[in-house]
Amino acid sequence: MLFTKSQQEKIGTLETPFYYYDLALLDDTLKQAKAAADKRDFHVHYALKANFNDRVLETIQRRGLGADCVSGNEVQKAIDSGFSADKITFAGVGKSDKEIRTALAHGIFAFNVESIQEMEVIDALAAEAGVIANVSLRINPNVDAHTHHYITTGLDENKFGVPTSELEKAAAVIRQAAHVELMGLHFHVGSQITDMNVFKSLCVKVNEWKNWFEERGTTIRVLNVGGGLGVDYQHPDENPIPDFEAYFDIFDKFLERTSQQEVHFELGRALVAQCGSLLSKVLYTKSGIKKHFLVLDAGMTELMRPALYQAYHKMERVGDTSETLLNYDVVGPICESSDCFGKEVPLPVSKRGDLLAIRTAGAYGEVMASRYNLRDEIRYVYNDTL
């Protein structure tokens, strides 16, 4: 169960909906991830896009992780949150000139470059700023991540990275670029990956392309294999922390590297998903001809994942639970039929005012919230303020 009796009483007085973050669980997750990575001399960057709540970032920064950013504002946010610039990577297919200048001004660890044209722009802007930009070339390895097609990123049909057919040309451009220093290769094949064989296939591709560059006389100092480790959305209580040992072990075993080569990861979801829940009250119950509905005060505006990816989030009643279950369609207040957290969900028979926790919402939850329907700003609460 998520809350103690006294926490429940306090929660009952709070205005809903709100995100609840268990920073103690987050810290335990970070400790395990860091220990498993350190043991193998791996470097972990936290992907800010998963959650950039201030206290979440503060907790992650304190554990000494780097930051993986996808916008100039994320780079700035990472700096403002205390991440050191030499541990910041900047990825993304559409970096604007302004964003590139921001990252150059901070002297970040590396740009993960996604096209030949972007490489040329970074070279020109670095020349203008009188600096050398460290870059990793993002290669699209054509590895199927076996995940939802909206969050698959490493297939030929995806917009991400430089296609392998263009690598010869990319290598030539890098050789010519006086203000760009190629430090490594970057890969990221998708998110919510639960099949460890996907990472094994990724290792094979990384080895292949690293060798390709080395055969052409290019030194590769950094192998950045991206993120993507999935979490158990079905069993947040049984599996609150992903198996980082098993995950890093795959790379330890299958990635070829010399002692001079660093291995970097960009984990988002696996670090923050389980520490967050969305708390919401039942506004109305109603039964139609075919259905029983629970209408919540939270909707797709607070947690978009079910509407966007048909994602499953476990829901549970906070506090007293009656034994009698009913199958409910749990919906939000937004004027869209996709504003639905789950269909035919077995839940205790509920009434107006009952509180529900929508679990595993710490990653890609709060950050993807919108003000559609002119909804309130997102509220949040932490375990140590309850």
Residue 118 vs 354, nearer CB to ligand LLP: 118
Minimum distance of ligand LLP from residue 352's CB (angstroms):
30
Q: Is residue 228 near ligand LLP by the rule CB under 6 A?
A: yes
Q: For residue 262, give both structure tokens.
A: 């660093």
Residue 50 engages ligand LLP in binding (rule: CB under 6 A): yes
Backbone angles phi, psi at 207, to 5 degrees: -60, -45
Q: Tell me if 364 is assigned to a ligand binding site.
A: yes
User: Could you tell me which of 132, 221, 222 has the C-alpha nearest to residue 178?
Assistant: 132
**Distance in Å, CB of 5 to ligand LLP, minimum:** 33
150 labeled part of a ligand binding site: no
On whether 208 is known to bind a ligand per the annotation, the reply is: no
Q: At what angle are helices 116-129 and 97-106 packed, to 10 degrees?
A: 50
If one counts every other C-beta atom within 10 angstroms of the C-beta of residue 132, the result is 16
Segment 187 to 216, residues that bind ligand LLP, using CB under 6 A: 188, 191-192
Nearer to ligand LLP, 50 or 241 (CB): 50
* Residue 228 in marked binding region: yes
309 annotated among ligand-binding-site residues: yes
Q: How far is the CB of 29 from ligand LLP (least distance, A)?
A: 13
Contact 11, 324 (CB under 8 A): no
Minimal CA–CA distance to 109: which of 221, 229, 187?
221
Structure token pair of residue 344 = 């035919």
State in angstroms the smallest separation of the CB of 188 from ligand LLP. 4
Query: Are the C-beta atoms of 203 and 224 separated by less than 8 Å?
Result: no
Nearest-approach distance from CB 292 to ligand LLP, in angstroms: 28
Out of 280, 364, 366, 382, the only residue in the binding site for ligand LLP (CB under 6 A) is 364
Give 346's Cβ-side CA count (13 Å radius). 4
Binds ligand LLP (CB under 6 A): choice among 2, 91, 295, 330: 91
| Binding test (CB under 6 A) with ligand LLP, winner from 68, 74, 302, 316 | 68
19 is in an annotated binding site: no
CB of 125 to ligand LLP, least distance (A): 21
- The residue count for binding ligand LLP (CB under 6 A) is 21
Q: Tell which one of 11, 30, 36, 47 touches ligand LLP (CB under 6 A).
A: 47
User: For residues 240-269, which are near ligand LLP according to CB under 6 A?
Assistant: 266-269
Interaction with ligand LLP in 289-308: which residues (CB under 6 A)?
Answer: 305
Applying CB under 6 A, does 362 fall inside the site for ligand LLP? no
CA-based Rg of the chain, rounded to a whole angstrom? 22
Please report whether residue 151 would count as binding ligand LLP according to CB under 6 A. Answer: yes
Q: How far is CA 344 from CA 11, 80, 235, 340, in A?
A: 27, 44, 18, 11
Between 249 and 386, name the residue whose CB sits nearer to ligand LLP: 249
Q: Is 267 annotated as a binding residue?
A: yes
Residue bearing tokens 């049984």: 238
Q: Is 46 annotated as a binding residue?
A: no
Question: Does residue 226 touch ligand LLP according to CB under 6 A?
Answer: yes
By C-beta, is 17 or 242 nearer to ligand LLP?
242
Known binding residues: 228, 266-269, 305, 309, 336, 364
Residues that bind ligand LLP (CB under 6 A): 47, 50, 68, 91, 151, 153, 188, 191-192, 226-229, 266-270, 305, 309, 364
